[in-house]
Structure 1
Amino acid sequence: MNGFTISVPASSANIGPGFDSAGMALNRYLTLHVQESSEWMFEHRSKHLPPAEAAKDHFIYQMAERMASEFEAVLPPCKVIVESEIPLARGMGSSASAVVAGIELANQVCRLELNQEQKLEWATKFEGHPDNVAPALLGGLIITAETKQTDKVEYFQTSNLNMDLVLYIPDFELKTETARKVLPETFSRTDATAASGIGNVMIAGLISGNYELAGRMMEADLFHEPYRASLIQNYDEIRQAAKEMGAYGTVISGAGPTMISFAPKGTGESIVKGMQAVLPDYSVELMEVDRNGLRVEKLQLCK
């Protein structure tokens, strides 16, 4: 087996009222350089990653092993060098990227020949919901749904977002489990109807190009942002300052603590400059939508 590289983008999920259903791939990447070895080894080369664990304890290996076992396949030993531009526990889909990478690792070394639909189904099963794994796998903005009528993830995908994206990444973590604990277990029919309507109009605005409308709906979310706002430092200040600088809307990225602004095309650089002055302890970055999703390069299958 000659070496190959797996690349998986970061993602920003939830997107206001798109709770557990709307996600977008970003141009930051988790990259695996894989080569044949006499035993399983992982090496980390990133400031965003802790020291590599023993192979059998490594999350990506565990995902690959789980995928292989589903097809009664055996993982041949590999050395995997892991590079990452995705900070952990920041609301940028680091877990989902690792899940997709693990599935693809097994797909390649075990020759499973999985198609995109199968990868999405398994990634959703492993991750628990599709809003991060779908864009990490497929790229673009993806709206997903799981229904009782089908046994697959239904989705709509588009890459035609003519906007700038500005992320505000703090130097502290927020675990998804913590962010989920503050959410209500149930909603009244009246509240659920209002929240669903806001989400529907936001998606219509994004797809039709009415970004001002979409931005207003993002910031009107009733599903999760009102409950998580107290967990996000500078939440109100970031939204207000970004709005004053021209952003359509600003929301929590994933479960936080990172936040993301959707802004008119061409205004992103000025917003980055202005917001960096407001948030000197943050990494304020202009990003783009990744349109490709998972990529595998320089692949040669086992003999």
Structure 2
Amino acid sequence: MRISVPATSANLGPGFDCLGLAVSLKNQVVIRPSKFHSVSLKGEGANNPALKDNNMFISIFNDFYHNLSNKKRFFRFEFFNEIPLSRGLGSSSAVIVSAIASAYAIEGIELERDKLLNLALAYESHPDNITPAVMGGFNVATVQDNEVKYINKHMPRSLKAVIVVPNRPISTQLSRKTLPFKYSKEDTVFNISHSSLLTAAFMSENWEMLKYASQDMVHQKYRMKHMPELFDVQKTALKNGALMSTLSGSGSTLFSIAYNQEANKLEQALKAKFPHFRVFTLDFDNQGVKIEI
């Protein structure tokens, strides 16, 4: 069995903990019957032995598999990771979603995506990453009565994602600690209005509105202070064709959207100015989690 889950970019500026979308960078896991437990890891994290020994995927998979089956079986897990670790691209959400979905698939139990999403919520309380990981596309999501309530929209082929991955992470735990304990009414209203406008822009495909709607007063400026060059990355992106440019999740990745015809120019401008960072262009992913048996 092969399972793949896309990378995600969450928050999207003002949509703190509620807006997110999926891009075509994927983590894949191949699971095979085996006479004994074994693990192989290629791609991102392959040089980190701790990821094999303390593997979150296997821990979650085993929890669900043992609850679903009375059998004692061994598997070989082959991980092919494209999603950078600890860079704000949803690598943890990809692990959670793929582990749960594969446990059900191996037992031949149909698992609806809505149920998968709510099972994943127990491991990731913020729905802005797990929802696009499961559903693909652009998503507006919130949690009510321990269930994810969401609206999903496919992203068009006329747009590309341009990603800048710095050479070091920003700790999610540390970055959350730097956020203010209280916000002014003005900043709160600013973000409510801009996240509403950003959602409307995505749903109506009014892409020219993204630059205005994606502004934020709640989290980006506080988090980006841990890596001040990100302000320059964002400014450079907006000057070179980006329709919007926002911190991806809690960082340190910067995520931008551009029209197809502008994406290469934007990528080259960012590569020229920030040669020590990884810069690449991606399509958007509208499939979400995918299982092949």
CA–CA distance in structure 2, aligned partners of residues 56 and 165 of structure 1: 34
Work out the number of aligned pairs and report it.
Answer: 292
Are 1:76 and 1:109, in contact at CA under 8 Å, matched by a contact in 2?
no
CA–CA distance in structure 2, aligned partners of residues 72 and 110 of structure 1: 7
TM-score normalised to structure 2 length: 0.92
Identical-residue share of aligned pairs (%): 26
CA–CA distance in structure 2, aligned partners of residues 45 and 160 of structure 1: 29
Question: 2:23 is paired with a residue of what secondary structure?
Answer: strand
TM-score normalised to structure 1 length: 0.90
1:216 to 208, 212, 229: 212
Q: Does 1:14 align with 2:11?
A: yes
The Cα of 1:248 is off from its aligned counterpart by 1.7
Are 1:140 and 1:290, in contact at CA under 8 Å, matched by a contact in 2?
yes
The Cα of 1:41 is off from its aligned counterpart by 1.7
Which blocks of at least 5 consecutive residues in structure 2 are unaligned? none
CA separation of 1:270/1:73 partners in 2, compared to 1, >3 Å: closer, same or farther? farther
Q: Deviations over 1:56-96 (max 9, x none)?
A: 73110111123345657666321001011111011111111
The Cα of 1:178 is off from its aligned counterpart by 1.6
CA–CA distance in structure 2, aligned partners of residues 292 and 153 of structure 1: 18
CA–CA distance in structure 2, aligned partners of residues 72 and 171 of structure 1: 43
Aligned alpha-carbon RMSD (Å): 2.0
Alignment of structure 1 residues 1-303 onto 2, 5 Å? 4-53=1-50, 57-68=54-65, 71=68, 76-147=73-144, 150-161=145-156, 162-218=158-214, 220-297=215-292, 299=293
2:58 maps to amino acid = Y
CA separation of 1:213/1:75 partners in 2, compared to 1, >3 Å: closer, same or farther? farther
CA–CA distance in structure 2, aligned partners of residues 71 and 34 of structure 1: 17
2:181 maps to amino acid = E
Which blocks of at least 5 consecutive residues in structure 1 are unaligned? none
CA separation of 1:274/1:194 partners in 2, compared to 1, >3 Å: closer, same or farther? closer
The Cα of 1:175 is off from its aligned counterpart by 2.0
**Bigger mean CA deviation after superposition, 21-30 or 39-48:** 39-48
